[in-house]
Structure 1
Amino acid sequence: MAKQILVGIREQDLNEVAHYLMIYLPFNEELCSYTDNWLGELYENKYPLVSKGMWSAIIDLKTHKILNWKQEFGCLYFQAKVCDSGTYFLLDKDKKVICKIADYVPNGLIPETDDCGDYIRLRINYDGTIENWPDEPDFSDFIEGVGIVEKIDTSIEEEPILDTKVEFTYSQLMAKLLRLPKHLQMEIGRALIANASEGFEEEEDEGSL
């Protein structure tokens, strides 16, 4: 079921009852990015809040802060094209799950409001505060077409990060390689040269037969 809400919870209750929002989404470098708020440059260090191919955050709806943000991440702008691949949980003050959406982005609550359920765009300060979080959140996405249940299914459908066919153009591959540390670039270069040399030697041996 794409949308679930605990029995007894009504839309008008959510402003009072919902204290936290948990977000899970697959982090795809082609669809997700961090940009330095000050320099406007793509942030290419280890991506904050990403583990095993998944981006996850828990947001305090009262303070608009990402609770698992670290100050050393700095001030960043996070943008992700998510469409229907994310999962969103509303939690009460005791961090008990009361609502779930496994569907399009609830942009009535998550910026920006005019993104039609496709994008998440967050301007994050060094302390985890989201600058562009709405002052008057709209929880209607969690109510419309929802299924009433006695217990929320908290499972998350993760996209596989292995055994996935990935195709890159030469320029895309080189761009990714050049992001790596110099010593890794050199190691990969040596391996490619060695591999090419072996192939050349095999062709010569076959030609001499």
Structure 2
Amino acid sequence: MSNPLVVTALGGIAVTYVFLWALLYLTQDSKEPPVVSSSIPFISPILGMVRWSMDFYPRMRERHRDLPIYTLRIPGARLYVINSLDLIPVVQRQWRTLLFPPIQAKAAQAAMGASKEAVAILKHDMITEHGFVHGMVKTTLPTMNGPSLNVLNAKTSEVFEKALRQFAAPTTVNLFEWIGKQIMCATTDAIYGPFNPMRDNQNIEAWK
């Protein structure tokens, strides 16, 4: 005789699965990229991310190489993942519809250690060209190509060369901190020159 509790549990799992499957496809617009990794609706992508960590998207790219773009559905969100390099500039041109500043602000906080005050400035007016992020891109873009870029690269190399000279004699450093400091010095020196405000440790601490 079957255990009533087991039967009830299996029935509940089946009903939940059918409900999630219906919810997934009833809320997926036909104009959206095709859904992948949906064997367990909303859950399969999360399990894949946990299992493969940083290798998740490369594995997905290999598995779905025939799709230029696809959708991953997770609880409360849709992830549109681009496989085709040709689509990247197409998406970037839609900057009024697909907002990247929120992502850039989070990246500045997570990867660069920006303070709450700095993040607040980054998040100010993320829609119009008068906002910090869009304004920064508009201002710096002309320096990111041609002769201007060559000058920046040359100045950056000079800073790195000067920093490496200290290793003429045996030296012990915290490699992670040293690399972070040199990247900060090289990039900001190349931009600001001898009046670089990031040469002041107080400004460095304020940025952190």
Q: Give yes or no for TM over 0.5.
A: no
State the TM-score, normalizing by the size of structure 2.
0.22
Question: Structure with the greater relative contact order (CA < 8 A, sep ≥ 6): 1 or 2?
Answer: 1
Higher strand share: 1
State the TM-score, normalizing by the size of structure 1.
0.22
